[in-house]
Amino acid sequence: MKKLFIISNESILSHQGNFFCDNIDTKSITEGLSNQFETYLIARKSNKSRFHKINFNNIKTYSFILTFLFEIIKTFNERNCKYLVISISPYTFFASVLIKLFNKKSIVYLRSDGYGEYSSILGFIGPAIYHCMFSIVTRICSLISCRTYILRGKKGHILSPSQINNSWLIDKKKEEDIQSAQTRLLYVGRIRVEKGIFSFLKIFKQKKNNDIFTIVGAEKANTNKIHQEDVKVCEIETNEERLIKIYDQNHIFVLPSFTEGHPMVLLESLSRLRPVIIFPEIKHVIGNKKGIFVANRNSKSFFETVNYIKQNYKNIQKDMEQNQLPTKSKFIKELGNLMLNSEHTTK
């Protein structure tokens, strides 16, 4: 069995022999590929609570970039191994350069638009910093992405990541009529500036009805960070059955992000026949999927969109049944085959 080193910027908590992360994609890729490779994960060390338990133990974490990179250097004595680098960050950028300097080859998986993310976090200087790293990495590594636009004209394989399994696709709860009902809006995701949640809360504050908004994604210490009428903030939900129930209990999903590549929560919402409202910055996520509506980032446009969905809910759900959504098993299989069939085995 070939060895696979997954190199990630993800912060991972080690606690009593178990490992935890916040990004479900890191968990599923590591667990999934361990069935095809002798897999090792090298990542950053976290001292904070993380929510998703990784059912996998070949993990090494480091607090400092030099020890992180030294661990990667130690792998260069291995034969017949492969390197999968997840996303571009300072840690993974220097890791990619090291791999190239030692005449090894790696595949970099770009999950989201780094230009947009760095801009929302660092302001005007953010895209310039990311551009420097992106320009070098895309010259020395092969690429995988979930969207063509993320590659910015560079050659790479396009895959459709997903966390959807059969549980999401059965026993779907339809709503016959919600026109007269109290509209229940939902957001599932991290409470971060770049996710647009604070921007959206300003819009929701201007509502003129009794709509309610539930946020699922708070860290335990931050559940009381948001104080707003008709807004309920819940911790991250890691239990799949309970999470499905949360989607079913609400009417409309709101994805207010300023940047997204291939959002898993969008697929989860569509799988449960819950319409999704997004904003123009991420309209590229629509593709051929039905049930996604674009509103301008202001209260007038947003609540007009909500009212349209309410008035046409039954027909919208009927259209959504036609969606052909990617599944987790298909994604992991395609990613594994791509790694196995690549020409990036070290000599």
Mean predicted lDDT score pLDDT of the chain: 91
User: How far apart (Å, rounded) are the C-alpha atoms in residues 185 and 231?
Assistant: 9
Residues 207-244: tens digit of each pLDDT: 888 899 999 987 765 556 788 889 999 888 889 999 99
Per-residue confidence (pLDDT) for residue 180, from 0 to 100: 76
Question: Is 344's pLDDT higher than 50?
Answer: no
Residues 257-278: tens digit of each pLDDT: 988 888 899 999 999 999 999 9
Confidence of residue 194 (pLDDT cuts 50, 70, 90): confident
For residue 185 the two structure tokens come to 């809006």
Which superfamily is assigned to 166-320 in CATH? Glycogen Phosphorylase B; (3.40.50.2000)
Per-residue confidence (pLDDT) for residue 133, from 0 to 100: 97
Mean per-residue pLDDT, 203-207: 93
Mean per-residue pLDDT, 125-152: 94
Per-residue confidence (pLDDT) for residue 238, from 0 to 100: 85
Burial of 1 per CB tally in 10 Å (0-12, 13-18, 19+): exposed
Residues 312-332: tens digit of each pLDDT: 999 999 999 999 999 999 999
Task: Give Cα separations from 73 to 134, 141, 151, 189 (angstroms).
Answer: 22, 17, 27, 35
Least reliable range by pLDDT among 12-26, 37-51, 168-182, 305-319: 168-182
Per-residue confidence (pLDDT) for residue 209, from 0 to 100: 87
Percentage of residues in the chain with pLDDT exceeding 90?
A: 72
Question: Is 347's pLDDT higher than 50?
Answer: no
Mean per-residue pLDDT, 32-41: 94
Domain 3-162+328-341 class, CATH top level: alpha beta
Question: Is 61's pLDDT higher than 60?
Answer: yes
Mean per-residue pLDDT, 36-49: 94
Residues of the chain with CATH 3.40.50.2000: 3-162+328-341, 166-320
Top-ranked range on mean pLDDT: pick from 6-15, 76-85, 333-342 = 6-15
142 beta partners: 107
Per-residue confidence (pLDDT) for residue 345, from 0 to 100: 39
Per-residue confidence (pLDDT) for residue 220, from 0 to 100: 63
Nearest CA to 85 out of 259, 339, 346, 340 is that of 339
User: How far apart (Å, rounded) are the C-alpha atoms in residues 33 and 40?
Assistant: 10
Chain centroid offset of residue 211 CA: 27
286-294's contacts with Cβ under 8 Å and 24+ in sequence apart are 289/323, 289/325, 290/316, 290/319, 290/320, 290/322, 290/323, 291/316, 291/317, 291/319, 291/320, 291/323, 292/266
User: How far apart (Å, rounded) are the C-alpha atoms in residues 287 and 124?
Assistant: 29
Looking at residue 209, the DSSP 8-state letter turns out to be S
Mean per-residue pLDDT, 105-134: 90
DSSP letter for each residue of 299-316: HHHHHHHHHHHHHTHHHH
Per-residue confidence (pLDDT) for residue 259, from 0 to 100: 82
184 beta partners: 212
Burial of 290 per CB tally in 10 Å (0-12, 13-18, 19+): middle
User: How far apart (Å, rounded) are the C-alpha atoms in residues 29 and 334?
Assistant: 11
Mean per-residue pLDDT, 293-300: 97
